[in-house]
Amino acid sequence: MDLYPLYNALRIAAISCVIVFFLGIFFAHWVAKLPRALKGILDVVLTLPLVLPPTVVGYFLLVLFGPNRAFGAWMMSTFHLRLTMVWYSAIFASVVVAFPLMYRTARGAFESFDPTLRASAQTLGLSNSYIFWRIQMPYCRQGILAGTVLAFARALGEYGATSMIAGYTPGRTATISTTVYQLWRTNNDALAFKWVLINVAISFVVLMAVNLLEKRERREAR
């Protein structure tokens, strides 16, 4: 059994997860400071990928990154970098689809942060970056960790947008989800079942981790 889809899916999910971690925290932190009207609109835009069909996300990504489109063509001519139908194309899809999960959980965690802690730290002369990384982030770490794990799980399971922008090339762009579909399509039921089991096992572990984190957070809140 060729394990390339597992390796590829894990590296795509891991890289996406790191990107989404910082993007989600940055936007959660930034949006909270905006005026109310702008905040409402931006919040909807940033959450949209959560409810859009993945194929719609894939369509948008192809419009942006396709080799015959402005940005895709420019990347091709300037950096000789192909953005579609290569293994890292799936990262674009995973990042967009997993981003809202990180963004929303991080925002929820930041909103629970007691503002008097920030105020008191400021009057003690502590810098704003110290306050963010050493007080606010530890305070919100359970929520942020839960968001990260969820984003990882979602990135691992991404199918729709990935199949549109990265396609399925065995040994190159194949991930677990696209492999399962391909095997099913070609009547290779037994192997498809193995991959399904692998995927279920990973997702099970991930969700267990989220639940444990949330339970610990509730206990600490008491």
Partner 1 sequence: MSVKVDIEKRLGDFHLNINFEAADVVHGLLGASGCGKSMTLRCIAGVVAPDRGRIEVNGRVLFDSEKHIHLTPQQRKVGLLFQNYALFPNMTVEGNLLAALRGQQRETAQKKVAEMIRRFHLEGLERHCPSQLSGGQQQRAALARILLTEPEILMLDEPLSALDSYLRWQTELELMDLLDRFSGTTLLVTHSREEVRRLCDTVTVLDAGTGRGAMPVQALFDAPETLSACLLSGCKNYSRAEKIGPDRIRVSDWGAELRCGEVPAGLQYAAIRAHHIESAEGPGENVIPCRVQRVIEDVFSTILMAETAGGTPLRVELEKADFRQTEAGQTLYLRLPIERIMLLK
Enumerate binding residues for partner 1 (CB under 8 A): 114, 116-127, 130, 134-135, 138-139
Q: Smaller CB distance to partner 1: residue 45 or 221?
A: 221
CB 157 within 8 A of CB 90: no
**Single-letter residue type at 59:** Y
Least gap, CB of 134 to partner 1 (angstroms): 8
Least gap, CB of 63 to partner 1 (angstroms): 44
CB within 8 Å of 31: residues ≥ 6 apart: 39, 42, 43, 46, 107
Least gap, CB of 46 to partner 1 (angstroms): 28
Q: Using alpha carbons, select from 60, 55, 63, 67 the residue that is nearest to residue 158.
A: 55
Q: Smaller CB distance to partner 1: residue 25 or 140?
A: 140
* 171 Rama class: left (phi>0) / alpha (psi -120 to 50) / beta: left
Q: Smaller CB distance to partner 1: residue 172 or 218?
A: 218
Least gap, CB of 120 to partner 1 (angstroms): 4
Least gap, CB of 119 to partner 1 (angstroms): 4
One-character DSSP codes across 81-150: ---SSSTTHHHHHHHHHHHHHHHHHHHHHHHTS-HHHHHHHHHTT--HHHIIIIIIHHHTHHHHHHHHHH
